[in-house]
Amino acid sequence: MNLVAALVAADLLEPFRYGFVRNGMVVAVLAGGLCGLLGVYVTLRSMSYIGHGLSHAIFGGAALGAVAGVSYFVAAGAWGLVSALAIGRVTRRRAIGADAAIGVVTTASFALGIALKNRLPQSGKSTEALLFGSILGVSPADVLIVAGTCALVGATVFLRYRALLFTTFDPEVAHASGISTGRADTLLMVLLAAAILACMNVLGVTLIAATLVIPAVVARLLTSSFSTMLWLSTLIGAAAGGIGMYASYFADVSSGATIVLVGTAAFLVTYAATAQRERRQPRAAPLPQPPGLTLSKP
């Protein structure tokens, strides 16, 4: 109680007096956790650039929706879904190089969004909020949408755990074991598009890729177990979201920036600590062969 009283006296609880901040805080924690969870797959599949590109593509859809007078979620959602499927297809074909194709598709979409927003600056959500994230853009409806997306993504990852892990680690053998790798890839792209769409208001187009990557990278430094990495990355993402949103109120800067900066600080601390630990304990040499290999039947 004394601590709470001290915090109140120092006005540290001031942000929570405002409903929009409370909404923003809830969404930031949920969005951070959501991006942390999906970020594990994004980083392990070397899809960081895809996440970055997809957020830019969705921005174009949002701008188009604003011009056409269509709801942000409908327009950006449809655009994002098509972009996600197109990117997924492009990455499976090697003819022109996935990175080049994604670069063309997503930057073109982003440029379209900028052009439309310049022409109609007053329409729809503010460009700055979409680009860099803003606490002001979070409504109670946004809270429900992000919470719903979290539930959907969490349930899908839970139920499709083996298929997503297997196709991420060894797609060839996963396919041979009867898992549809194409379906798993598409599912992941759709989940990623949904997460980016839901989180864009808070995190912003330009910074969302970092919130996908940083928690997973920090978690990877801390564990060599996939299941541990999943929950650790989710936890780190949620913590960075909450702390970053809280800091953004006092620092008076965009929430996306503070969330990413908190995540980056966590990365630097973890990197330094694990590097020091590795220096003290050099990596174990490969284990010796077991004496007398068991050749008898079990």
Q: Give the residues lining the site for other proteins (CB under 8 A).
A: 44, 158-159, 161-162, 165-166, 168-170, 172-177, 220, 223-227, 229, 283-284, 286-287, 289-290, 293-295, 297-298
9 or 287: CB nearest other proteins: 287
* CB 166 to other proteins: min, Å: 5
* DSSP notation for 67-126: HHT--HHHHHHHHHHHHHHHHHHHHH--SS-HHHHHHHHHHHHHHHHHHHHHHSTTSSS-
41 or 79: CB nearest other proteins: 41
* CB 209 to other proteins: min, Å: 21
* CB 273 to other proteins: min, Å: 18
Query: Taking Cα atoms as reference points, which of 230, 250, 102, 78 lies closest to residue 168?
Result: 230
22 or 175: CB nearest other proteins: 175
- Enumerate residues 6+ apart whose C-beta is below 8 A from 266: 214, 215, 218, 236, 239, 240
69 or 286: CB nearest other proteins: 286
Identify the three-state secondary structure at position 184: helix
Residue pointed to by tokens 């892990």: 165
A 10 A CB-CB count for 141 gives 10
* CB 224 to other proteins: min, Å: 4
* CB 223 to other proteins: min, Å: 6
62 or 188: CB nearest other proteins: 188
